[in-house]
Structure 1
């Protein structure tokens, strides 16, 4: 696979990195969130291409201080995005530009300290998920908060949803969420009902292995993939049952993030605490999930899935965790604890 790698030292550990959505053009803006600084920040970057040596340099457009470590960052649309904090807060941000001036980042809504332990001590907000304008946050306090980008108040809090820290969350549909906790339990909550109890609970694996991330398939939300602290990837078809369809031994360290390619969902990207960033792709000449239509999805294939996939290392292994990645067309961004960001250009998506 032929691609170019451009690394840039940014003098801070990057915990989250996201392309700014731009569905009309090839986006060149992206946003990063730092951690482990005395003063963390949300930063908007742009790429500047040097035609003489074919290098691509990110340059800082604007930044906004952020209280606490940035634990998650997701865009609602091209202008609005949401962040969460180790200080127990969730923030709605807007990228604004007026009269041809450079964009700036504005804080629109702050849901401060919405995650707290029973003794009123601040609890980190560990993750959140979005569905249209709805936001669901989870934290080390075991609570779940329902928010809306049009409402400054917390819509609802599911207290004591879990007896231990909740690490990750994703929407299954507008009325259902899936959470993963410290003990390796996955729980489904129907957020329409008044009960604070999960409607279903099942284990990630036979042991108490903690999930670090959850991700839905872009077009089939019942297909859910989890990455865990031991480096494995587990795949479910939640229409059928709560037993995994596939379990893939993957990275040597914990799987920090999993992303399907939005336009080519048979392509999967993962990064890990071991310093890897991998591209999972159907074998050349094989059948892609796009051509299968309503038939078998490659990620729901039988145990022979390992024989149907190629796994490519997108860049040499780093000596620090790769905390975050994002994909836009044939470009992959990743952020690392070595205080650098990387653009991997020309990834072989289009077969």
Structure 2
């Protein structure tokens, strides 16, 4: 745990994201953004670590996050995504979607508002919180408590398309499944696929948890095999789905003892997955289909698995099946490691890129680990 740097920032962190690294770059990420919530004045902030974060102050050490700039944000930051190297998109509890531009000039580093879509999410008589945004430049999609899905083009002021009444319940999160569509999760345990090539307001596919309609809070798709999706929700269960087969999750894993707030596949090594929770834990999951011995106890945690068998696509290559869909989970291996030195208040958000992991908490702390074993 010596490789973890902690920074106390006097604000509850709701969202945290690494700035993307150019594809041709060999460097590790060194700049990230945060959004706050439940504070008197909420902020979007940009931080640096590593060489960019070295401070001349004696009480700081290399790797300790250093604040580069920040700006006030109206309402709670409910989601935060980098659009590109210098633009950050924020979702607000006021219903607004705002693009901030980062100006990295050393003399006058700062954040400015490039554009705001006010009341992108709304009820007839009031604003509705915008709960999630996802970027695939130049396109941007937002979802909200109002059950709307809104499609934007970054270089256009007008909204491109709205799917009204996409959901009768709150949509909690959204991710691009393909360039032509998105995946949403809602407060009654449903996962919906939307194809923007279709003109109607109906989803192309609906998947759901059986039994109790447990709210789903987060979703991420496998970076290489887009039919594989991970979700987490109010009951702390980690669900892996294969959207090609059936409408139920492929596997369910008892991950956390309280709400799971975020789940992320590692973008370049997706046999690794990370989750964070209201219970104050941040977990690193490593899946492998090549082991005969299950190892559920690493990190001192007992994880139980309920699984359905994966079926190889007709004529498919067995070697192309992800470790997450490796058939009976008892024949595979799922190693779980606690990534924080001790449990804290709710870990609300995490992001991982290269060997660098960052998370933000209700304990007004940011944790950075630049030596993640992936």
TM-score, normalization: structure 1? 0.91
When the two structures are aligned, how many residues end up with a matched partner?
342
> Does 2:34 match 1:32?
yes
Whether 1:166 and 2:191 are equivalent positions in the alignment is no
How much has 1:282 moved relative to structure 2? Answer: 3.5
Partner of 1:185: 190
Aligned residue for 2:329? 304
Deviations 1:280-323 (A, max 9, x none): 11469859xxxx99522111112326841110001134331100
Distance in 1, matches of 2:216 and 2:115, equals 29
Query: d(CA) in 2 for partners of 1:293 and 1:343?
Result: 37
Counterpart of 2:120 in 1: which secondary structure? coil
Alignment of 1:318-337 (within 5 A): 318-337=343-362
Structure 2 distance, partners of 1:61, 1:111, is: 26
> Aligned residue for 2:14?
15
Partner of 1:278: 283
Q: 2:369 & 2:19 partners in 1: Cα distance?
A: 16
Which residue does 2:45 correspond to in 1?
A: 43
CA 122–189 in structure 1, closer or farther in 2 if over 3 Å, else same: same
Map Cα deviations across residues 146-165 of structure 1 (whole Å, 9 max, x no partner).
11111111111111111121
What pairs with 1:239-250 in structure 2 (closer than 5 Å)? Answer: 239-250=244-255
> 1:127 offset after TM fit, Å?
0.8
Kept after mapping to 1: 8 A contact 2:347/2:360: yes
Residues of 2 paired with 1:281 and 1:186: CA distance?
24
CA RMSD between the two structures: 2.3
Q: For each residue in 1:196-240, what CA deviation from the matched residue of structure 2 results, as whole angstroms up to 9, or x when unmatched?
A: 122322313321111000101111111111111100011111123
The alpha carbon displacement at 1:117 in A equals 0.9
- Are 1:216 and 2:221 matched, yes or no? yes
> Unaligned 5+ residue runs, structure 1?
none
CA distance in 2, matches of 1:213, 1:56: 29
**2:89 corresponds to 1:82:** yes
Match of 1:267 in 2: 272
Q: In 2, are the aligned partners of 1:6 and 1:55 still within 8 Å (CA)?
A: no
Question: Secondary structure, in 3 states, of the residue corresponding to 1:152?
Answer: coil
Q: Which residue of 2 aligns with 1:135?
A: 140
Counterpart among 69, 76, 97 of residue 62 in structure 1: 69
Distance (Å, rounded) in 2 between the aligned partners of 1:333 and 1:307: 28
Aligned partners of 2:184, 2:352: CA distance in 1, in Å?
24
Q: CA deviation at 1:242?
A: 2.1
Match in the other structure for 1:226: 231
Q: TM-score with structure 2 length normalisation?
A: 0.85
Deviates more, 1:246-255 or 1:313-322: 313-322
Aligned partner of residue 65 in structure 2, secondary structure: strand
Equivalent residue for 1:109? 115
Could you tell me whether the CA contact under 8 Å between 1:299 and 1:305 is conserved in 2?
Answer: no
SS of residue paired to 2:324 = helix
| Unpaired stretches in structure 2, ≥5 consecutive residues | 293-316
CA contact (8 A) 2:287 2:324 kept: no
**Secondary structure of residue in 2 paired with 1:315:** coil
Partner deviation per Cα, 1:184-207 (whole Å, 9 max, x = no partner): 122222222221122322313321
Is 1:200 the counterpart of 2:197? The answer is no
Query: Partner of 1:299: helix, strand, or coil?
Result: helix
1:315 aligned onto 2:340: yes
Bigger shift: 15-24 or 268-277?
A: 15-24
